[in-house]
Structure 1
Amino acid sequence: METITISTAQNVDIEYEVAGLGERIAARLIDLAGFAILYIVVLILMVAAQFSTSGNLSIILIILFAVIFIFYDLVCEMTMDGQSFGKKIMKIKVISLDGGQPTFGQYLMRWIFRIVDFGVMFGWGVVALVAVAVTEKHQRIGDKLAKTTLIKTVPRTKIDNVAFSFSLPEDYEPTFKEVLHLNDRDAELIYEVLTGYYTTGNPDLIYAMAAKTKTHIAVNIPAGMNELQFLETVMKDYKHVTANMNV
């Protein structure tokens, strides 16, 4: 499993499983297959248009197909959380190097430089494949300039999933009521660190996250509780406190 380390806006290093070349190529082929089907549909409609009274229909269909083809990646990534339909099927997505969702400007930069990464004058994607293979964070030129890369979506955490990850007894009493100072994104980040530790066994992530969390909520780790136990307790407390707030 190949990973990259990204420093988030909270200055915590998180490991993400990087999207492989095979997955990227497969995602692109899926998208192109969709366009092939759409192209066949357009041809059928153009043939049908020859027998209709609307002489402009063929031109309209050609323009519509061209617009969809040109703007497909930009629109999909902006509206589908960094994914096209091919990326969604292959479970990969675009992510900013600060660990967050890319901005419009980043998506736009990736899209503009597709002409270099995938243009006919540049070998129909050879430039992109070489760039992904040799760069440290596996970025094509558009990614490099936009400060983005592609990761597998499985490691990413949503707060809805976090809520079900820590079972609590009915009489549970929170240890740190100060977890009210956290928000959902803070909780997601803590959970990602815990998940990363469970997967890789890297304690550095735990130490860094525990230090920042205790400072953020202004508490001290009690005697006899280590950093891992502290973060797990914070997650349990956060689940308990937020659940009661919504009652």
Structure 2
Amino acid sequence: METIQVNTSQHVDIDYPLAGLGERIAARLVDLGIFLGLAILFFFFGSISGITNTPTILYTLIILYSAGYIFYTLVCEIFMNGQTLGKRVMKIRVISVNGAQPTMGQYFMRWVFRLVDFVLTGQVLGLIVIAITDKKQRIGDIVAGTTVIRTVPHTTFEHIAFQPVEEAYTPVFSNIEQLTDRDVELIHEVISTYYKTHNPDLIYSMATRVGKHLSITPPPEMNQLDFLTTVVKDYKQLTSKVD
């Protein structure tokens, strides 16, 4: 599986799988389906209400519809964290190749190059370039310094996939209150990625950083994976008492 390495805010490298050509085509079809459905509804209700018989109103609605279609991708990616509705359905999104959130300039650049990738080349050139490039980039992505990765909906703390902490559970470590929900989400993400990739460096790196941040030295009998899992359980116990 082709991946791109993303450096998190905690300076931990996580490999995210790149979105495949099929997923990007499917996302595009979903977006086109939305506009096709809107067009059908427009003409259906327009015919019933008689709006289509009034040229001024008809032309205005056509202009608004066309503008929405043209700027749809740009607006959605800027305000929906690199996703259109189709990308959200397919669980993929645009990121910068350095792992950062793309800037408005990057979104704009890849949107402008849709003319080259799709409009002027019959939807063909962009698909060919995606298929042959290492980072699955179309020309707009190459120019803008972006690519598209597979993702999942944002994980909230309540969704973290650890067993509920027993009511009588006694926290092992102190200073856990120094962590935030986002810190624990990241720890969980690293653990989940480890089980998928079997890359122990992720666990070693995260355990080292968490230990330094909390000024904790795990006991000799506790490996790094157990340490991170225990930290999460301690945090869950702490927050459950606060709630």
Q: TM-score range by the shorter chain?
A: 0.7 to 0.9
Q: In 1, Cα distance between the equivalents of 2:140 and 2:217?
A: 44
- Of residues 168, 171, 180, the one that matches 1:171 is 168
- Of residues 48, 51, 58, the one that matches 1:49 is 51
Report the secondary structure of 1:118's partner residue: helix
Q: Once the 2 structures are TM-superposed, how far is the Cα of residue 191 of structure 1 from its aligned partner? A: 0.8
- Of residues 155, 159, 162, the one that matches 1:161 is 159
Contact 2:5–2:99 (Cα < 8 Å) also in 1: no
Contact 1:7–1:97 (Cα < 8 Å) also in 2: no
1:131 counterpart = 2:129:
yes
Report the secondary structure of 1:221's partner residue: coil
1:230 counterpart = 2:227:
yes
Q: Once the 2 structures are TM-superposed, how far is the Cα of residue 24 of structure 1 from its aligned partner? A: 0.5
Q: What is the match of residue 19 of structure 2? A: 19
What TM-score, normalized to structure 1?
0.85
Q: Once the 2 structures are TM-superposed, how far is the Cα of residue 203 of structure 1 from its aligned partner? A: 0.9
1:184 counterpart = 2:186:
no
Segments of 5+ residues of structure 2 without an aligned counterpart are none
Q: In 2, Cα distance between the equivalents of 1:49 and 1:89?
A: 33
Q: What is the match of residue 207 of structure 2? A: 210
1:119 counterpart = 2:116:
no
Q: What is the match of residue 143 of structure 1? A: 141
Q: Alpha-carbon deviations, 1:11-56, whole Å to 9, x = none? A: 21112122111010011012112222333344453793353xx431
Identity across the alignment (%): 49
Contact 1:156–1:192 (Cα < 8 Å) also in 2: no
Q: Alpha-carbon deviations, 1:157-202, whole Å to 9, x = none? A: 433312x523211121222222222222222211111001112222
Q: In 1, Cα distance between the equivalents of 2:51 and 2:24?
A: 37
Structure 1 counterpart of 2:51, one-letter code = A
Contact 1:17–1:155 (Cα < 8 Å) also in 2: no
Structure 2 counterpart of 1:138, one-letter code = K
Q: What is the match of residue 239 of structure 1? A: 236
Report the secondary structure of 2:82's partner residue: coil
In structure 2, do the counterparts of structure 1 residues 46 and 100 end up closer, same or farther at CA, with 3 Å as the change threshold?
farther
Q: In 1, Cα distance between the equivalents of 2:175 and 2:100?
A: 25
In structure 2, do the counterparts of structure 1 residues 108 and 175 end up closer, same or farther at CA, with 3 Å as the change threshold?
farther
Q: Once the 2 structures are TM-superposed, how far is the Cα of residue 228 of structure 1 from its aligned partner? A: 0.8
Report the secondary structure of 1:205's partner residue: helix
Q: Once the 2 structures are TM-superposed, how far is the Cα of residue 111 of structure 1 from its aligned partner? A: 2.2
Q: Once the 2 structures are TM-superposed, how far is the Cα of residue 63 of structure 1 from its aligned partner? A: 0.8
Structure 2 counterpart of 1:189, one-letter code = L
1:87 counterpart = 2:87:
yes
What TM-score, normalized to structure 2?
0.86
In structure 2, do the counterparts of structure 1 residues 8 and 128 end up closer, same or farther at CA, with 3 Å as the change threshold?
farther
Q: In 2, Cα distance between the equivalents of 1:66 and 1:152?
A: 30
Contact 1:46–1:57 (Cα < 8 Å) also in 2: no
Q: In 1, Cα distance between the equivalents of 2:114 and 2:212?
A: 43
Q: What is the match of residue 8 of structure 1? A: 8
Query: How many residues are aligned here?
Result: 241
In structure 2, do the counterparts of structure 1 residues 185 and 104 end up closer, same or farther at CA, with 3 Å as the change threshold?
farther
Structure 2 counterpart of 1:62, one-letter code = I
CA RMSD of aligned residues (A): 2.5
